[in-house]
Structure 1
Amino acid sequence: MSGKQLAKWKVEPYNVDNVSFSPDGQSIIGIVDKDKVRLWNLSGKQLTEIKGQPGAFKAVNFSPDGQYLATGGYNGAVSIWNLSGHKLAEIVKGQQQVFDGMTLSLVPTRVENVSFSPDKQRLATVEDDGKVRLWNRSGRQLAQFKNNQGKINQVSFSQDGQHLATVATVTGSMNLTVEGEGSTATESKTP
């Protein structure tokens, strides 16, 4: 990486966060003003927009095949969106409010981060109560983990889907957890 800026575009109303490249590297997804998810091509042309209620979106991530998005909200909802039809596919957890796709069950905590398993059958969420929760696509909670090293803010599945990597920003620790067992397999800390 050279650090050279390749493209730049203006986004209205300016409040953009939680951006991510698509798996094929041809588009970028981002949350705009906490109530919209937008997909852009690399030239900055908006390809689609998903609208939700105010505060509906805090986290967004592509499925491994790029056909779906998982979103997490300030209201505790986790939803899966079908990009080809721009529709809500299912609700995994949270308030049963359907926008353009599908949503999960009610959880009283804000969803900070969300990640698809490689087979797209499970989702891992990081919530503002500091817990990582593992869900199936029908909204059943499969497991719950808590890190005693600080508040977790990121989660990611291993390529084989058998491990979760989490990052706790307060302590700078990174943990590798054996999925479903809630036990820490390895831990490394950054200075």
Structure 2
Amino acid sequence: KEIAKLQGHEDSVISASFSPDGQRILTASDDNTARLWDLQGKEIAKFQGRDSGGIIASFSRDGQHILSASVDKTGRVVSIYVWNVESLEQLLARGCRWLHNYLIYAPNLSDSDRQLCNKK
């Protein structure tokens, strides 16, 4: 039984694999992107290659990083990148650290907005 449909790539998908914990799916495409999906088919992240051509990608053994390689039309690897894979909790924590001073000092914020990053 189909449980999800991963839609978003604009060209042929070269590869697809589950993360080591089985909770995410990584796809790579000739559209020069790798995409990270949840098990319901929602796109979590998009990794854009910086060169023309396709891209291949794989998870690190611990699932904390993605290795992507841009390939040209002949299949020759032209660049390699390592990406961090953050959980939603890690991403929110990083965002709150970045917004900290803004939430304290910005004028015209409601009290509930000022407490946005204090909610558990």
- Interval containing the TM-score (normalised by the shorter chain): 0.5 to 0.7
Structure-2 separation of matches of 1:10 and 1:79 = 24
Cα shift at 1:14: 4.6
Structure-1 separation of matches of 2:68 and 2:30 = 14
Matches within 5 A, 1:77-116: 77-84=79-86
Identity within the alignment, %? 35
Look up the equivalent residue of 2:13 and give its one-letter code.
Answer: V
Cα distance change of structure 1 residues 64 and 12 upon mapping to structure 2, 3 Å threshold? closer
Q: Bigger relative contact order, structure 1 or 2, given CA contacts below 8 A and separation 6+?
A: 2
Cα distance change of structure 1 residues 9 and 38 upon mapping to structure 2, 3 Å threshold? closer
Cα shift at 1:50: 1.0
Cα shift at 1:56: 5.1
Residue number in structure 1 paired with 2:57: 60
TM-score (norm 1): 0.38
Whether the aligned pair in 1 keeps the contact of 2:29 and 2:54 (CA below 8 Å) is: no
Cα distance change of structure 1 residues 78 and 20 upon mapping to structure 2, 3 Å threshold? same
Look up the equivalent residue of 1:54 and give its one-letter code.
Answer: S
Look up the equivalent residue of 1:32 and give its one-letter code.
Answer: S
Whether the aligned pair in 1 keeps the contact of 2:37 and 2:45 (CA below 8 Å) is: yes
Structure-1 separation of matches of 2:11 and 2:81 = 24
TM-score (norm 2): 0.57
Structure-2 separation of matches of 1:69 and 1:31 = 11
More strand by share: 1
Q: Work out which of the two has the higher radius of gyration on C-alpha atoms and give 1 or 2.
A: 2
For residue 5 of structure 2, give the secondary structure of its aligned residue in structure 1.
coil
How many residues matched? 81
What 5-or-longer segments of structure 1 have no aligned partner?
Answer: 86-191
Cα shift at 1:8: 2.2
Q: Deviations over 1:63-98 (max 9, x none)?
A: 11111011223152232211239xxxxxxxxxxxxx
More helix by share: 2
Matches within 5 A, 1:137-148: none
